Amino acid sequence: MTAARALDGIRVVDLTRALAGPYATMMLADIGADVIKVEPPGGDDSRGWLPFTGDADSGDPGISAYFLSANRGKRSVTLDLKTEEGAEALRRLCADADVLVENYRPGLLKRLGLDPAELREANPRLVTLSITGFGSGGPDGHRPGFDQIAQAEAGLMSLTGAVDGEPTRVGLPISDLLAGMFGAFGVMAALAERERTGRGQPVETSLLASVAAVHSFQGAGWLAAGKAPGRTGNRHPSIAPYGTFRCRDADIVIAVGSESLWKRFAAAVGLDPDRHDIATNSARVRHVDALEAEVNALLTDRDADEVLKILDERGIPAGRIRSVPEVWEWDQVRHLGLAHTLRHPVLGDVEVPGGALQYGGSGAASDVPPPLLGQHQADLDDPWRTRNGADGCGTDEDPPGASR
């Protein structure tokens, strides 16, 4: 018998598209939520985004890998919310749902007659999550949100890139992913509170808020200490040596994050740890150019594997710089089950990145593939039909603990 998962019996109505919202609802689906993805007649825009699994030259582009990355475990229906018929169908879904997630511009759903506040009045147990670009209200709340715009406006690009280079975006759509993760966390907190109060509540986050919230010591350095941070390339702004170093055949990364690690590292590479110009972390940060040049000179005639073996034996954090293909071929990644195999109705068995959490007492993450557009349209007549098997077909049974 399959072990129960944390959100079994929780129904989520998902109005989101692209990445931030779909990532949030996929996290909820992974732990058991029945996520009904409500798409416009043309589908989520990301269904048309590169890369595709097929070969366009052969006339079969396949399925968007972008869409596959954020939509497993969901059912898909299409509704035109600009029509009264579509709007009424959404109201019926929300009347019995536990969670509504949307990432429209602030005020758009209200103009369509689907104000989340009114949906909560009709269903007081409903938790609503709104993900926007710049938050609701304020001088910029009306603006649309896209990942790179948020990376720029929220200061992340100013911190990323070479010291003397231009501001650079992070290679992943990190503001979208952070907003999705914060959003899923907010939904879980609101559901936990609902257990005490019996009432749902609105939850909001934004791409801007999500990046600002993870400024961490860089933000606190400015707010609390008045120190404006800048780009440091692969160096750590507060710790040395910490960054990229050259071996004979490859660059590696080394993180000497404490004084005890420094003494072990210095002994391993042939430095005097008590030399006055490098004896303390503050001194090493002040002399980081000279220190990095000295370490590089000591490592440049050694192969990366040799250096990494020596550092590992001494408990010094270090690693190689892997490409994306190398990551997914890495034995450790496979051991952790981070590549998730799904049985797709068109592609057959297909791998996608899995979730980062493992639960000792709950069931495994969803093995239901991302849905085809409108694949579960018939379920609108009986939305409590639950998924049964890898093809996403339903049964007529209510999920355990369902709140009708």
Phi/psi for 277 (5° steps) reads -80, -5
Question: 32: alpha, beta or left, given left = phi > 0 and alpha = psi -120 to 50?
Answer: left
CA distance 359 to 188: 16
Choice among 14, 30, 147, 176 that is catalytic: 176
CA distance 159 to 177: 18
On whether the CB atoms of residues 22 and 44 are closer than 8 A, the answer is yes
- Of 375, 327, 373, 387, nearest to 351 (Cα)? 327
On whether the CB atoms of residues 167 and 152 are closer than 8 A, the answer is yes
The verdict on whether 176 is a catalytic residue reads: yes
Output the CA torsion sign for 308, 278, 290, 239.
positive
Q: How far apart are the first and last CA of the chain?
A: 25
Q: Could you give the C-alpha distances from 190 to 127, 194, 226, in angstroms and in order?
A: 7, 6, 35
H or E, element range at 158: helix 156-159
What are the residue numbers of the active site? 176
